[in-house]
Amino acid sequence: MNYFESIGNYFLMIKKVFNKPTKWGIMKTLILKEIDDLIFGSLGIIVFISFFVGGVVAIQTALNIDNPFIPKYLVGFATRQSVILEFAPTFTSIIMAGKVGSYITSSIGTMRVTEQIDALEVMGVNSLNYLVFPKIIALLLYPFVIAIAMYLGIFGGWAAAVLGAYSTSSEFIQGIQIDFKPFHVVYAFLKTGVFAFILATIPSYHGFYMKGGALEVGKASTTSFVWTSVAIIVINYLLTQMLLG
């Protein structure tokens, strides 16, 4: 029953986020700060992981193609499909659930523990709009981060395949181009948009409604990561079934 209660409270929280908006002058500053913290602050780890995971995908694909009748361009094809369809939108979002989600939960949870949220509400401020809405707007830029992850993942695969002599540059590029379906990119960005909303709201929920002291902030961050990851995986399955099934 607690799970259903939590789900209900989560949707009620989302409704309250869009009520009684904060003045634009204040909100603009909050949004710019969240863009810096959530988007630009995450680029380094995403660039690093995307490049090397793309390389690993290319190497593993090449090592499993031991039949001389299988064309080498399949290395590029498999790398492109893996990166665009799953790695960039889904795997990166789970990483972001650990980095961004934990940051959101701990920052809001700390405000709850130190009674800063109570102070906002005493002043007549809609604390949910003040704290959560800027994060939702900032993460609208999340698809641009995923686009960078796609590019670097494929580039990392190309570098690993060519430098490791698993495939020539022309064969890898041919594999990237062959049987390309633009809808796969659209599908990836649709997933990314949904994941961005999840990354902004589920961690915020766990931080805003946490109870206790400093120790509970850490526990809330862990719980937030688990449930954000579960939501991403489940919704990934549902969207894949609806859009590609």
Q: What is the pTM of this model?
A: 0.90
Q: Which residues contact 185 (CB under 8 A, 6 or more apart)?
A: 84, 150
Output the CA torsion sign for 110, 114, 115, 116. Answer: negative
**How far is Cα 177 from Cα 235, in angstroms, rounded to an integer?**
29
pLDDT tens for each residue of 199-240? 999 999 999 998 887 788 888 999 999 999 999 999 999 999
Q: Residue for token digits 């492109």?
A: 80
Contact 23, 69 (CB under 8 A): no
The token duo for 183 is 């809808």
Averaged pLDDT of the chain: 90
Query: Domain boundaries in the chain?
Result: 2-243
Task: Give the pLDDT score at 2.
Answer: 78
Instruction: Decide if pLDDT at 167 tops 90.
Output: no
Percent of the chain with pLDDT strictly greater than 70: 100
pLDDT tier for residue 21 given thresholds of 50, 70 and 90: confident
Q: What is the mean pLDDT of residues 110-131?
A: 88
Q: Where do the H-state alpha helices sit in the chain? A: 2-17, 24-34, 43-64, 74-82, 92-96, 102-113, 116-122, 127-138, 142-163, 169-177, 182-208, 214-243
